């Protein structure tokens, strides 16, 4: 029986001034009533982001608030297999939907003094710390691609895009790196 090597193949693997592609992670779309889920998730030592457009982290897993009943759970690829059973046990009896989207999207890290400049090329949001503090996360747009954005530090962002949009997004970021180099 032919077995593939375990490595996942991302559609783009690039980096330039101010950004780099991250290794594949485990991603899950959790849809659930937050009030009903808060207790069980906490008891199971899993994160749930209660505040609008903010991320919450617990252990190896982070939960990103994307909508009033929508959380994106992000963790290490190595922990992928254990999440579904943990969630199923935690949310037993609570109506919910959990869908594996680990291969649907991949993440880019933007960091350094040029990070907000690279973002402003394509994203119409205001990255002033007063409106987008550390922990801010949201779905938004980057030029003509939909992305999920997560501010992990003052100058460090994670940008997730669906895999077929990644070459477009990284291509634009590469142009942005050129602009940073040219000093405009």
Partner 1 sequence: MLIIPCPYCGPRPELEFSYGGQAHVTRPTAASNPSPAEWNAFQYERANLKGLHAERWRHIHGCARFFNVVRDTTTDEILRSYRSGEK
Partner 2 sequence: MSGDCRSARGGGDLQRSQPLRFEFDGRSYQGLQGDTLASALLANGVHLIGRSFKYHRPRGIMAAGPEDPNALVTIRRDAARSTPNLNATQVELYDGLVAYSQNRWPSLRFDTARINDLLSRFIPSGFYYKTFMWPRKAWHSLYEPRIRAAAGLGVASTEADPDLYAQCYGHCELLIVGAGPAGIAAALTAAASGARVMLCDEQALPGGSLRTGTSARIGGQDAADWLRESVQKLTAAPNVTLLTRTTAFGYLPHNMVALSERLSDHLATPPPGKPRERLWQVCARQVILATGAIERPLVFPGNDRPGVMLAGAARSFLNRYGVLPGARVVVLTAHDDAYQTAIDLKAAGVQIAALADMRTDPAGPHVEAARSAGIAVRTGTTAVGTRGNLRVTAVGLAGLDSNGAVAGAADWVKCDALLMSGGYTPSVHLHSQARGKLRWDEATHAFVPGAAAAGCRSVGACNGLIGAELVRVFEQATAAAADALRECGIHDQPGAIAISKELAVSEDRGASGGWIGALPQPAGAKAGKAFVDWQNDVTAADLKLAVREGFRSIEHIKRYTTTGMATDQGKTSNLNALAIAAQQLGRAIPEVGLTTFRLPYLPVGFGGLAGYARGDFFAPVRKTPMYDWAADRGAVFEPVAMWQRARYFPERGEDMHQAVARECAAVRRSCGLFDASTLGKIEVAGPDAIEFMNRMYVNNWSSLAVGRCRYGILLRDDGFVYDDGVVARLSDDRLHVTTTTGGAPRVLGMMEDYLQTEWPHLKVWLTSTTEQWAVIAVQGPQARAVLEPLVEQADLSAAALPHMAMTRGLVCGVPAMIFRVSFTGELGYEINVPADYGAEVWRAIWASGQAHGMCTYGTEAMHVLRAEKGYIIVGQDTDGTMTPDDAGVSWAVGKNKPEFVGMVSLRKPALQDPRRKQLVGLLTVDPAHVLEEGSQIAAEPGQRPPMRLIGHVTSSYYSSVLGRSIALAVVSAGRSRLGQTLYVPTAHGESTVTVTQPVFYDPKGERLNA
Residues that bind partner 2 (CB under 8 A): 1-5, 8-11, 24, 29, 31, 69, 95-105, 117, 120-128, 143-145, 162-165, 167-168, 171-172, 175, 178-179, 181-182, 184
Of residues 85 and 124, the one with the C-beta less far from partner 2: 124
User: CB under 5 to 8 A by kind: which of partner 2, partner 1, none does 58 bind?
Assistant: none
Interface positions with partner 1 (CB under 8 A)? 52-53, 66-68, 70, 124-125, 138-141, 146
Residue 2 touches which of partner 1, partner 2, none (Cβ within 5-8 Å per kind): partner 2
60 or 70: CB nearest partner 1: 70
Burial of 158 (0-12, 13-18, 19+ CB in 10 A): buried
User: What's the min distance (Å) between Cβ of 78 and partner 2?
Assistant: 15
If you count DSSP H runs as helices and E runs as strands, how many of each does the chain have, helices first? 4, 11
Cβ(120)–Cβ(140) below 8 Å: no
Nearer to partner 1, 90 or 165 (CB): 165
Q: Pairing relation of β-strands 55-58 and 25-32?
A: unpaired
- The least CB distance from residue 139 to partner 1, in Å, is 5
Shortest distance in whole angstroms from residue 150 CB to partner 2 = 19
Minimum distance from residue 146 beta carbon to partner 2 (Å): 10
Concatenated DSSP letters of 18-83: TEEEPPPEEEEEEEE-HHHHHHHHHHTT-----STTBEEEETTEEEEEEETTEEEEEEEGGGHHHH
* 127 vs 115: CA distance, rounded Å: 10
């Amino acid at each position: 029986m032919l077995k593939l090597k375990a490595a996942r193949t991302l559609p783009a693997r690039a980096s330039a001034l101010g950004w780099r592609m991250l290794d594949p992670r485990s991603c899950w779309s959790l849809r659930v009533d937050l009030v009903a889920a808060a207790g069980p998730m906490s008891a199971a030592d899993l994160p749930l982001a209660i505040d609008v457009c903010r991320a919450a982290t617990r252990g190896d897993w982070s939960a990103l608030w994307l909508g009033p009943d929508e959380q994106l759970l992000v963790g290490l690829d190595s922990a992928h297999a254990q999440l579904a059973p943990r969630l199923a046990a935690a949310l037993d009896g609570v109506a919910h939907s959990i869908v594996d989207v680990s291969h649907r999207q991949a993440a880019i890290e933007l960091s350094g003094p040029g990070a907000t400049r690279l973002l402003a090329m394509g994203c119409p949001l205001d990255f002033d710390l007063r409106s987008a503090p550390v922990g801010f996360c949201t779905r938004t747009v980057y030029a003509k691609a939909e992305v999920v954005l997560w501010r992990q530090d003052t100058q460090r962002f994670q940008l997730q895009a669906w895999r077929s949009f990644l070459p477009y997004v990284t291509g634009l970021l590469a142009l942005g790196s050129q602009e940073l180099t040219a000093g405009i």
